[in-house]
Amino acid sequence: MKSTAPLKILCTAYLPDYRLNIHPNEGADLGLMMTRYVVTVEDGLQAELLLVNECRKESVEMGQKFWERLGKPDKAILSFDGSVLRIEKA
Domain ranges of the chain: 2-89
* Length of the chain as a residue count: 90
Task: Express each pLDDT in 27-76 by its tens digit.
Answer: 999 999 999 999 999 778 899 999 999 999 999 999 998 899 889 999 99
* Residue pair 5/53 in contact by the 8 Å Cβ criterion: no
Q: pTM score, two decimals?
A: 0.92
Give the model's pLDDT for residue 44: 84
Q: Could you tell me how far CA 34 lies from the centroid of its own chain?
A: 14
Say which CATH class 2-89 falls into.
Answer: mainly beta
Q: What is the DSSP string of 12-43?
A: ETTSPTTEEEE-HHHHHHTT--SSEEEEEETT
Structure confidence at residue 10 (pLDDT):
96
